[in-house]
Structure 1
Amino acid sequence: MGSSTGDNDDGRPAGVRDRDAEGRARNARPRDGLGRPLPYGAPGVARQPEGVVRTPQETVAEAQALLDAGKPFHAHEVFEDAWKSGPEAERALWRGLAQLAVGLTHAARGNVTGGARLLRRGAGALEEWARGAGQWRPHGIDVAGLAGWARGLAGAVEGARPVVDAREAAPRLR
Protein backbone atom coordinates (compact mmCIF):
# COMPACT_ATOMS: atom_id res chain seq x y z
CA MET A 1 0.00 0.00 0.00
CA GLY A 2 1.38 3.42 -0.86
CA SER A 3 1.78 6.27 1.54
CA SER A 4 -0.37 9.37 1.61
CA THR A 5 2.18 11.15 -0.62
CA GLY A 6 1.49 8.75 -3.47
CA ASP A 7 4.75 6.84 -3.05
CA ASN A 8 5.19 3.10 -2.67
CA ASP A 9 6.26 1.94 0.79
CA ASP A 10 9.79 1.44 -0.57
CA GLY A 11 10.18 5.07 -1.67
CA ARG A 12 9.46 4.64 -5.38
CA PRO A 13 6.72 6.79 -6.92
CA ALA A 14 3.30 5.13 -6.93
CA GLY A 15 2.72 2.96 -9.97
CA VAL A 16 6.42 2.63 -10.85
CA ARG A 17 7.42 -1.01 -11.33
CA ASP A 18 10.86 -2.42 -11.90
CA ARG A 19 11.23 -3.41 -15.56
CA ASP A 20 14.13 -4.63 -17.68
CA ALA A 21 15.03 -3.31 -21.14
CA GLU A 22 12.43 -5.60 -22.73
CA GLY A 23 9.68 -4.40 -20.38
CA ARG A 24 9.57 -7.60 -18.27
CA ALA A 25 8.93 -7.17 -14.57
CA ARG A 26 12.20 -7.40 -12.64
CA ASN A 27 12.82 -6.61 -9.01
CA ALA A 28 15.67 -4.08 -8.97
CA ARG A 29 16.02 -4.08 -5.19
CA PRO A 30 19.55 -4.75 -4.00
CA ARG A 31 20.22 -8.24 -2.63
CA ASP A 32 22.46 -9.63 0.06
CA GLY A 33 24.88 -12.52 -0.45
CA LEU A 34 22.07 -15.04 0.00
CA GLY A 35 19.82 -13.30 -2.52
CA ARG A 36 17.48 -11.78 0.05
CA PRO A 37 16.05 -8.42 -1.02
CA LEU A 38 17.28 -5.35 0.81
CA PRO A 39 15.58 -1.94 0.95
CA TYR A 40 15.96 0.27 -2.10
CA GLY A 41 19.09 2.37 -1.80
CA ALA A 42 20.84 -0.06 0.56
CA PRO A 43 24.23 -1.38 -0.52
CA GLY A 44 23.93 -4.90 -1.82
CA VAL A 45 25.93 -7.62 -3.51
CA ALA A 46 26.30 -7.22 -7.26
CA ARG A 47 24.00 -9.54 -9.14
CA GLN A 48 25.18 -12.12 -11.59
CA PRO A 49 24.41 -11.04 -15.14
CA GLU A 50 21.76 -13.24 -16.73
CA GLY A 51 22.10 -15.17 -19.96
CA VAL A 52 25.89 -15.43 -19.97
CA VAL A 53 27.16 -18.31 -22.11
CA ARG A 54 30.22 -19.89 -20.50
CA THR A 55 32.22 -23.02 -21.17
CA PRO A 56 31.58 -25.81 -18.68
CA GLN A 57 35.01 -25.13 -17.14
CA GLU A 58 34.18 -21.42 -16.75
CA THR A 59 30.80 -22.29 -15.25
CA VAL A 60 32.32 -24.62 -12.66
CA ALA A 61 35.13 -22.19 -11.79
CA GLU A 62 32.81 -19.20 -11.39
CA ALA A 63 30.22 -21.17 -9.41
CA GLN A 64 32.92 -22.59 -7.12
CA ALA A 65 34.30 -19.11 -6.45
CA LEU A 66 30.80 -17.89 -5.54
CA LEU A 67 30.16 -20.90 -3.30
CA ASP A 68 33.50 -20.39 -1.58
CA ALA A 69 32.53 -16.75 -0.98
CA GLY A 70 29.27 -17.81 0.72
CA LYS A 71 27.09 -16.76 -2.23
CA PRO A 72 25.18 -19.89 -3.24
CA PHE A 73 22.26 -17.85 -4.60
CA HIS A 74 24.62 -16.27 -7.11
CA ALA A 75 26.21 -19.64 -7.91
CA HIS A 76 22.74 -20.95 -8.72
CA GLU A 77 22.37 -18.19 -11.33
CA VAL A 78 25.62 -19.29 -13.00
CA PHE A 79 24.37 -22.89 -13.10
CA GLU A 80 21.03 -21.68 -14.44
CA ASP A 81 22.79 -19.99 -17.36
CA ALA A 82 24.52 -23.29 -18.19
CA TRP A 83 21.23 -25.16 -17.86
CA LYS A 84 19.49 -22.79 -20.27
CA SER A 85 22.32 -22.37 -22.79
CA GLY A 86 24.11 -25.70 -22.69
CA PRO A 87 23.56 -28.78 -24.79
CA GLU A 88 20.27 -30.60 -24.23
CA ALA A 89 22.15 -33.70 -23.02
CA GLU A 90 23.61 -31.74 -20.07
CA ARG A 91 20.66 -29.62 -19.02
CA ALA A 92 19.59 -31.97 -16.24
CA LEU A 93 23.15 -31.92 -14.85
CA TRP A 94 23.22 -28.13 -14.61
CA ARG A 95 19.66 -27.99 -13.29
CA GLY A 96 20.61 -30.45 -10.52
CA LEU A 97 23.62 -28.32 -9.61
CA ALA A 98 21.40 -25.23 -9.53
CA GLN A 99 19.04 -27.05 -7.17
CA LEU A 100 21.94 -27.87 -4.83
CA ALA A 101 22.97 -24.20 -4.77
CA VAL A 102 19.40 -23.09 -4.06
CA GLY A 103 19.11 -25.76 -1.37
CA LEU A 104 22.23 -24.39 0.31
CA THR A 105 20.78 -20.88 -0.04
CA HIS A 106 17.59 -21.89 1.76
CA ALA A 107 19.51 -23.80 4.43
CA ALA A 108 21.68 -20.72 5.09
CA ARG A 109 18.54 -18.59 5.34
CA GLY A 110 17.11 -20.96 7.96
CA ASN A 111 14.45 -22.49 5.71
CA VAL A 112 14.88 -26.07 6.94
CA THR A 113 12.10 -27.67 4.91
CA GLY A 114 12.87 -25.93 1.62
CA GLY A 115 16.61 -26.35 2.02
CA ALA A 116 16.46 -30.07 2.74
CA ARG A 117 13.92 -30.68 -0.01
CA LEU A 118 15.98 -28.89 -2.66
CA LEU A 119 19.23 -30.51 -1.56
CA ARG A 120 17.67 -33.97 -1.88
CA ARG A 121 15.97 -33.10 -5.16
CA GLY A 122 19.26 -31.83 -6.59
CA ALA A 123 21.13 -34.94 -5.37
CA GLY A 124 18.55 -37.19 -7.00
CA ALA A 125 18.65 -35.21 -10.25
CA LEU A 126 22.45 -35.46 -10.39
CA GLU A 127 22.43 -39.19 -9.70
CA GLU A 128 19.72 -39.80 -12.29
CA TRP A 129 21.59 -37.76 -14.90
CA ALA A 130 24.90 -39.54 -14.17
CA ARG A 131 23.33 -43.01 -14.46
CA GLY A 132 21.66 -42.10 -17.75
CA ALA A 133 24.74 -40.43 -19.19
CA GLY A 134 27.15 -43.00 -17.78
CA GLN A 135 29.29 -40.13 -16.43
CA TRP A 136 30.03 -39.56 -12.79
CA ARG A 137 32.72 -36.90 -13.36
CA PRO A 138 31.48 -34.72 -16.25
CA HIS A 139 33.78 -31.71 -16.71
CA GLY A 140 35.60 -32.94 -13.61
CA ILE A 141 32.47 -32.45 -11.45
CA ASP A 142 32.28 -35.02 -8.64
CA VAL A 143 28.62 -35.97 -9.06
CA ALA A 144 28.66 -38.80 -6.51
CA GLY A 145 30.50 -36.66 -3.95
CA LEU A 146 28.08 -33.75 -4.44
CA ALA A 147 25.06 -36.02 -4.07
CA GLY A 148 26.50 -37.37 -0.81
CA TRP A 149 27.29 -33.83 0.40
CA ALA A 150 23.74 -32.69 -0.38
CA ARG A 151 22.08 -35.61 1.39
CA GLY A 152 24.35 -35.11 4.42
CA LEU A 153 23.61 -31.39 4.60
CA ALA A 154 19.88 -32.07 4.22
CA GLY A 155 20.03 -34.34 7.25
CA ALA A 156 22.08 -31.80 9.19
CA VAL A 157 19.65 -28.93 8.61
CA GLU A 158 16.76 -31.14 9.69
CA GLY A 159 18.69 -32.16 12.80
CA ALA A 160 20.96 -30.23 15.07
CA ARG A 161 22.04 -27.52 12.59
CA PRO A 162 18.90 -25.80 11.28
CA VAL A 163 20.90 -22.81 9.96
CA VAL A 164 24.23 -23.30 8.22
CA ASP A 165 26.99 -20.91 7.25
CA ALA A 166 26.93 -20.93 3.45
CA ARG A 167 30.69 -20.39 3.21
CA GLU A 168 31.58 -23.13 5.67
CA ALA A 169 29.07 -25.58 4.18
CA ALA A 170 30.03 -24.92 0.54
CA PRO A 171 30.76 -28.08 -1.44
CA ARG A 172 33.77 -28.80 -3.64
CA LEU A 173 32.47 -29.25 -7.18
CA ARG A 174 35.57 -31.10 -8.33
Structure 2
Amino acid sequence: MAIPGDMDRDRDDDGRARNARPRDALGRPLPPGSAGVERIPDDLDLPPAESLAWAQDLLNRGLAFNAHEVLEGAWKSCPGDERMLWQGLAQLAVGVTHVQRRNTKGALKVLERAAKRIGHHDGPAPYGIDAVGLIGYADALIADLRQGADPAPELVMPRLLARPDHR
Protein backbone atom coordinates (compact mmCIF):
# COMPACT_ATOMS: atom_id res chain seq x y z
CA MET A 1 0.00 0.00 0.00
CA ALA A 2 1.28 3.50 -0.77
CA ILE A 3 0.60 6.89 0.71
CA PRO A 4 0.73 10.20 -1.15
CA GLY A 5 4.14 10.89 -2.61
CA ASP A 6 4.66 7.18 -3.31
CA MET A 7 6.30 6.65 0.12
CA ASP A 8 5.72 3.14 1.40
CA ARG A 9 4.12 2.90 4.82
CA ASP A 10 5.93 0.94 7.46
CA ARG A 11 3.89 -2.20 8.20
CA ASP A 12 4.37 -5.25 10.38
CA ASP A 13 4.16 -8.84 9.11
CA ASP A 14 0.36 -8.80 9.53
CA GLY A 15 0.01 -5.65 7.42
CA ARG A 16 -0.78 -3.33 10.36
CA ALA A 17 0.67 0.17 10.06
CA ARG A 18 3.49 1.05 12.42
CA ASN A 19 5.82 3.95 12.74
CA ALA A 20 9.50 3.07 12.87
CA ARG A 21 10.59 6.71 12.61
CA PRO A 22 13.03 7.75 15.31
CA ARG A 23 11.53 9.50 18.33
CA ASP A 24 12.74 12.14 20.73
CA ALA A 25 12.93 11.66 24.52
CA LEU A 26 9.25 12.62 24.83
CA GLY A 27 8.13 10.09 22.22
CA ARG A 28 7.51 12.57 19.42
CA PRO A 29 8.39 11.33 15.90
CA LEU A 30 11.50 12.82 14.34
CA PRO A 31 12.28 13.11 10.64
CA PRO A 32 13.51 9.84 9.05
CA GLY A 33 17.25 9.46 9.49
CA SER A 34 17.39 11.58 12.67
CA ALA A 35 19.12 10.35 15.80
CA GLY A 36 16.48 9.51 18.38
CA VAL A 37 16.28 7.63 21.65
CA GLU A 38 16.38 3.84 21.65
CA ARG A 39 13.05 2.31 20.62
CA ILE A 40 11.24 -0.29 22.70
CA PRO A 41 10.45 -3.48 20.75
CA ASP A 42 6.77 -3.92 19.87
CA ASP A 43 6.65 -7.57 20.88
CA LEU A 44 7.74 -7.42 24.53
CA ASP A 45 6.82 -10.38 26.70
CA LEU A 46 8.85 -10.03 29.89
CA PRO A 47 8.19 -11.33 33.39
CA PRO A 48 6.45 -8.67 35.54
CA ALA A 49 9.52 -7.95 37.69
CA GLU A 50 11.63 -7.26 34.59
CA SER A 51 8.95 -5.04 33.06
CA LEU A 52 8.65 -3.05 36.28
CA ALA A 53 12.42 -2.69 36.70
CA TRP A 54 12.91 -1.56 33.09
CA ALA A 55 9.95 0.84 33.22
CA GLN A 56 11.25 2.34 36.49
CA ASP A 57 14.72 2.80 35.02
CA LEU A 58 13.19 4.60 32.03
CA LEU A 59 11.06 6.79 34.30
CA ASN A 60 14.11 7.63 36.41
CA ARG A 61 15.83 8.81 33.21
CA GLY A 62 12.85 10.97 32.25
CA LEU A 63 11.73 8.65 29.44
CA ALA A 64 8.07 8.26 30.42
CA PHE A 65 6.97 7.53 26.84
CA ASN A 66 9.37 4.58 26.63
CA ALA A 67 8.27 3.41 30.09
CA HIS A 68 4.72 3.45 28.75
CA GLU A 69 5.74 1.15 25.91
CA VAL A 70 7.33 -1.34 28.33
CA LEU A 71 4.25 -1.27 30.58
CA GLU A 72 1.99 -1.63 27.55
CA GLY A 73 3.92 -4.77 26.60
CA ALA A 74 3.27 -6.17 30.08
CA TRP A 75 -0.40 -5.21 29.83
CA LYS A 76 -0.78 -7.04 26.51
CA SER A 77 0.82 -10.24 27.86
CA CYS A 78 -0.46 -10.34 31.46
CA PRO A 79 -3.15 -12.61 32.92
CA GLY A 80 -6.70 -11.33 32.45
CA ASP A 81 -7.23 -10.44 36.11
CA GLU A 82 -4.22 -8.06 35.99
CA ARG A 83 -5.11 -6.23 32.78
CA MET A 84 -6.72 -3.18 34.44
CA LEU A 85 -3.70 -2.69 36.70
CA TRP A 86 -1.12 -2.92 33.90
CA GLN A 87 -3.26 -0.74 31.66
CA GLY A 88 -3.43 1.83 34.45
CA LEU A 89 0.35 1.74 34.89
CA ALA A 90 0.84 2.28 31.15
CA GLN A 91 -1.68 5.13 31.21
CA LEU A 92 0.09 6.73 34.17
CA ALA A 93 3.28 6.83 32.10
CA VAL A 94 1.32 8.35 29.19
CA GLY A 95 -0.10 10.96 31.57
CA VAL A 96 3.43 11.84 32.69
CA THR A 97 4.43 12.08 29.02
CA HIS A 98 1.61 14.57 28.44
CA VAL A 99 2.80 16.61 31.44
CA GLN A 100 6.33 16.59 30.01
CA ARG A 101 4.92 17.81 26.69
CA ARG A 102 2.83 20.43 28.54
CA ASN A 103 -0.42 18.98 27.22
CA THR A 104 -2.57 19.67 30.28
CA LYS A 105 -5.88 18.55 28.77
CA GLY A 106 -4.43 15.21 27.64
CA ALA A 107 -2.61 14.71 30.94
CA LEU A 108 -5.75 15.25 33.02
CA LYS A 109 -7.83 12.85 30.95
CA VAL A 110 -5.27 10.03 30.99
CA LEU A 111 -4.18 10.49 34.63
CA GLU A 112 -7.80 10.23 35.79
CA ARG A 113 -8.28 6.96 33.87
CA ALA A 114 -4.93 5.66 35.14
CA ALA A 115 -5.83 6.26 38.78
CA LYS A 116 -9.18 4.46 38.36
CA ARG A 117 -7.60 1.45 36.70
CA ILE A 118 -4.72 1.19 39.17
CA GLY A 119 -7.24 1.34 42.04
CA HIS A 120 -9.58 -1.20 40.43
CA HIS A 121 -7.66 -4.17 41.87
CA ASP A 122 -9.07 -5.54 45.16
CA GLY A 123 -6.51 -5.95 47.90
CA PRO A 124 -2.82 -5.27 47.58
CA ALA A 125 -1.44 -5.02 44.06
CA PRO A 126 0.82 -7.87 42.92
CA TYR A 127 4.60 -7.75 42.41
CA GLY A 128 5.14 -5.07 45.05
CA ILE A 129 3.41 -2.42 42.93
CA ASP A 130 2.62 0.61 45.10
CA ALA A 131 -0.96 1.11 43.90
CA VAL A 132 -1.86 3.45 46.78
CA GLY A 133 1.23 5.58 46.21
CA LEU A 134 0.68 5.70 42.45
CA ILE A 135 -2.94 6.78 42.85
CA GLY A 136 -1.76 9.48 45.26
CA TYR A 137 0.89 10.55 42.74
CA ALA A 138 -1.70 10.79 39.95
CA ASP A 139 -4.18 12.65 42.18
CA ALA A 140 -1.52 15.19 43.27
CA LEU A 141 -0.46 15.76 39.67
CA ILE A 142 -4.12 16.21 38.64
CA ALA A 143 -4.62 18.76 41.44
CA ASP A 144 -1.51 20.70 40.37
CA LEU A 145 -2.65 20.76 36.76
CA ARG A 146 -6.17 21.89 37.67
CA GLN A 147 -4.68 24.76 39.68
CA GLY A 148 -2.80 25.89 36.59
CA ALA A 149 0.64 24.75 37.74
CA ASP A 150 3.30 23.71 35.24
CA PRO A 151 4.90 20.71 36.96
CA ALA A 152 6.95 19.73 33.89
CA PRO A 153 10.24 21.48 34.82
CA GLU A 154 10.41 19.90 38.29
CA LEU A 155 8.45 16.73 37.63
CA VAL A 156 9.34 13.93 40.01
CA MET A 157 8.75 10.56 38.38
CA PRO A 158 6.52 8.00 40.06
CA ARG A 159 7.91 5.02 41.95
CA LEU A 160 6.18 1.90 40.67
CA LEU A 161 7.18 -0.33 43.58
CA ALA A 162 6.66 0.21 47.27
CA ARG A 163 9.84 1.06 49.09
CA PRO A 164 10.97 -1.69 51.46
CA ASP A 165 10.53 0.64 54.48
CA HIS A 166 6.86 1.22 53.53
CA ARG A 167 5.68 -2.38 53.65
Classify the TM-score, shorter chain: 0.7 to 0.9
Cα-to-partner distance string for 1:29-63 (whole Å, 9 max, x where unaligned): 11011110111111101110112111111111011
Which residue does 1:152 correspond to in 2? 140
> Is 1:86 the equivalent of 2:78?
yes
Which residue does 2:156 correspond to in 1? 169
Q: Could you tell me whether the CA contact under 8 Å between 2:144 and 2:151 is conserved in 1? A: no
Deviates more, 1:64-73 or 1:14-23: 14-23
TM-score, normalised by the number of residues in structure 2: 0.87
> Is 1:72 the equivalent of 2:64?
yes
Q: Could you tell me whether the CA contact under 8 Å between 1:92 and 1:125 is conserved in 2? A: yes
User: CA-atom RMSD, angstroms?
Assistant: 1.7
Which residue does 2:164 correspond to in 1? none
The CA deviation at 1:163 is: 5.1
Which residue does 1:127 correspond to in 2? 119
Aligned residues: 158
Q: What is the identity, as a one-letter code, of the residue corresponding to 2:111?
A: L
Aligned equivalent of 1:116, options 105, 108, 113: 108
> Is 1:51 the equivalent of 2:43?
yes
Q: Could you tell me whether the CA contact under 8 Å between 1:50 and 1:81 is conserved in 2? A: yes
TM-score, normalised by the number of residues in structure 1: 0.84
The CA deviation at 1:105 is: 0.5
Cα-to-partner distance string for 1:8-46 (whole Å, 9 max, x where unaligned): 4xxxxx242222343321122110111101111111011
Q: Could you tell me whether the CA contact under 8 Å between 1:109 and 1:163 is conserved in 2? A: no
* Percent identical: 49
CA distance in 1, matches of 2:36, 2:159: 26
Q: How does 1:24-35 map to 2 (within 5 A)?
A: 24-35=16-27
Cα-to-partner distance string for 1:135-168 (whole Å, 9 max, x where unaligned): 2x42111100000001101222233433514x84
Greater relative CO, 1 or 2 (CA 8 Å, sep 6+): 1
Which ranges of structure 1 fall in alignment gaps of 5 or more residues? 1-6, 9-13
Which residue does 1:4 correspond to in 2? none
Which ranges of structure 2 fall in alignment gaps of 5 or more residues? 162-167
Which residue does 1:138 correspond to in 2? 126
